[in-house]
Structure 1
């Protein structure tokens, strides 16, 4: 019987975190393989670009550089392969995939995030897609999702991709709130959305939102500010951001033809008689992102719910180690942040792996400290941040990890 291929480190996910970790670990002499279910490595980096401190950060270019580095270091990258099982019967992981089983001393999960679906009346019509799908069409396949579109949902993901679509020459009629309903929650509230944007006011492209956001946040004026927010919206990159407008329904016979919009009060109550039709041929639903963490559950990792980080995340420490021996995490599986943060986390996870594998020698502590400082630096300066309070949320996770381990040690001593 043929033995499964063996590696020092097996990485699941060929996005920014996974590729960065692979290059770093292979650079220290580890045998590394990277698995990804998509046909091309690079993850969502392939469709991302944004302004970063006076220059354009282009994800595809970053991915190409990482892939060249991985190839030169002998990293094995297997695409079109799905992982469906993980067990650790001894001192090595056995990872079950659609391409056969592999074994590794250590596994890094860098599986990224998935979009939160946001159903609304008419959302099954052709021409309705997630905001991420619109991004992939325009920036990966260079196909316009339509001639004129509308984005439903106000969040960092919607704002970032709206900017990309505008730069790519895709006309956007506006960014509006979803209609009220059990799945919309506070996402349909002008007040809640404005408070969320105020928390990110230092990143806002509009001077009104930068300056006014700071003042209103300081004075606790999210409610009053929502009442006075212009009904026609505020233009961001020539795209109207309409916090006083909700999407009532998506209309069309065989495909999207229009969206029924209605004005709402600052409290989110629909204003009778304000309904109108916005002619568009595609709609992008922006429900946000959540960590894609199922494999961590399969591996037996405990979880923690952290709203600022996108929901349930695998419990881990600042060095990206989980309580499960030989299991590490990096990137959006640990909480929703930018690709630059994911890359820094990937390098940190690789440093932890190399330290645990004994290949860093006396440099172990200094390498880990340097990598942790770099993650903090990148996080604090990132131009795209998905929620206020991320650094504090991270500290809560690390504290909970320490308490979890301490409780486990106490239980062992008592038994």
Structure 2
């Protein structure tokens, strides 16, 4: 039996495994992918200090640290169930059933799809799939593409595709319907982009974004947003056009765009076509928390964190004995925050395994999470601090109720 089992070999899981192993614990990390690293593998961008963040190198570094610390791995191994039997967590996989008293869920995030007519054609993929193809497997998804969905993730990946000499003809909105809602409304999308305007390569755009501090200026900005879009990294970003159809016979041949009003409604007679050989759909990310649900962990819907999040405290403990969470399962953030959370989870596990003298180290690690969050170059949800406050508030309510019951 292992002292600790970690499900997920992304930045949070790897960091937690290294921390636990360095404290003398026997660690097993399980992941369904063939390589460790998770979403970190696909990341490639330039940081404000001019250094390049290369996810493949960062993943390899963490993996080698884990191997050096004698962490065991079960890759290409999906987990299909888990349950608590007395004091032990049983983890069921197709290869074996393993057990532990301390189980960390570092399952990461998944992409939200946006339904678009024609999205079943060959050549249509999620924007994350295009990122993995390009940055991990070094295979271009096509020669010329259109990205449907304008958000932080799609903007970053558009830049990465361009670095790989793949033409991105446009970033544009999806057609408004019951499922696209906010993602198809120009004002809501502009508001989300203002929080990452510091990433814009144009000084004019960075300056202009500072002027849009109130609803009047935002409405003005949407109303007079250029019909041909605003170029960033030489890629047209459209907030007043939406894709109403992906067309092609046996594969993607192009998309049909239409101008939309400030509320996202299509203006009839404005249809036009853009030829392309692939289309990426970017619906954003949500916490991948199914296993926490199977375990019986309570959840809260926190939009500021990207969706349903299992209840947990700052030490990354859940309400269930021996169950911990770290990384994007706790809210959509960057890899550096996930790594910091992994360290904190590892220290919490070590303390709960009976190791003493880790209190100061744990407090420092919790502060490191907050520091990583504050210094994050890319913030997927601008109100993440509010989201964390909401979860902490629910945790305090849980603790208070537990005291009453006792």
TM range (shorter): over 0.9
For the 8 Å contact 1:233–1:244, the answer to whether it is kept is yes
CA distance in 1, matches of 2:88, 2:200: 47
Shift of residue 273, structure 1, vs aligned partner:
2.5
Unaligned runs of 5+ residues in structure 2 are none
State the distance in 1 between where 2:109 and 2:76 align: 18
Residue 200 (1) aligns with residue 176 (2): no
Which residue does the alignment assign to 2:2? 7
Correspondence 1:4-403 to 2 at 5 A:
6-53=1-48, 54-218=50-214, 221-359=217-355, 361-362=356-357, 364-403=358-397
Using the size of structure 2 for normalisation, the TM-score is: 0.97
In structure 2, C-alpha distance between the alignment counterparts of 1:171 and 1:136, rounded to whole Å: 17
1:204 to partner: Cα distance:
3.8
Cα distance in 1 between the residues matched to 2:75 and 2:194: 40
Say which SS state the counterpart of residue 409 (structure 1) adopts: helix
Q: How many residues align?
A: 405
Larger displacement relative to structure 2 (128-137 or 349-358):
349-358
Q: Distance in 1 between matches of 2:74 and 2:218?
A: 48
Q: Could you tell me whether the CA contact under 8 Å between 2:176 and 2:265 is conserved in 1? A: no
Deviations 1:178-197, CA, capped at 9 Å, x for gaps? 01111110211111111111
Residue 248 of structure 1 aligns to a residue whose secondary structure is: strand
Give distance in 1, aligned partners of 2:119 and 2:215. Answer: 39
> 1:355 deviation in Å?
1.7
TM-superposed deviation, 1:117 = 1.1
SS in 2 for 1:210: helix
Tell me, in whole angstroms, the C-alpha distance in 2 between the residues paired with 1:200 and 1:221: 17
Task: Check whether the contact 1:129–1:283 (CA below 8 A) recurs between aligned residues.
Answer: yes
Counterpart contact for 1:199–1:217, Cα < 8 Å: no
Tell me the alpha carbon deviations over residues 266-294 of structure 1, each in whole angstroms, 9 at most, x when there is no partner: 23232332211101010000011111100
How far apart are 1:223 and its partner, in Å? 1.6
CA-based RMSD of the aligned residues comes to 1.3
Deviations 1:140-182 (A, max 9, x none): 1111111100000011110111111111111100100001111
TM-score (norm 1): 0.95
Return the alpha-carbon distance in structure 2 between the equivalents of residues 284 and 40 of structure 1.
Answer: 24
Asked if the contact 1:338–1:382 (Cα under 8 Å) also holds between the matched residues in 2, the reply is yes
Structure 2 match to 1:408: 402
Q: Secondary structure at the match of 1:165?
A: helix
State the SS of the aligned residue for 1:253: coil
Following the alignment from structure 2 to structure 1, what is the Cα–Cα distance between the partners of residues 149 and 344? 33
Deviation at 1:203, TM superposition (A): 4.1
Distance 2:262 2:105 in 1: 43
Rounded Cα–Cα distance in structure 1 between residues aligned with 2:213 and 2:30: 44
Distance 2:123 2:261 in 1: 29
Output the CA distance in 2 between the equivalents of 1:314 and 1:130.
26
1:291-334 per-residue CA deviation (whole Å, 9 max, x = no partner) reads 11000011110001100111001111111110111110001111
Distance 1:178 1:124, change over 3 A: same
Give the 3 Å change call, closer, same or farther, for CA 160–193 of structure 1 in structure 2: same
Give, in whole Å, the separation in 2 of the partners of 1:391 and 1:210: 23
How far the C-alpha of 1:218 sits from its partner, in A, is: 4.4
**3-state SS in 1 of match to 2:102:** strand
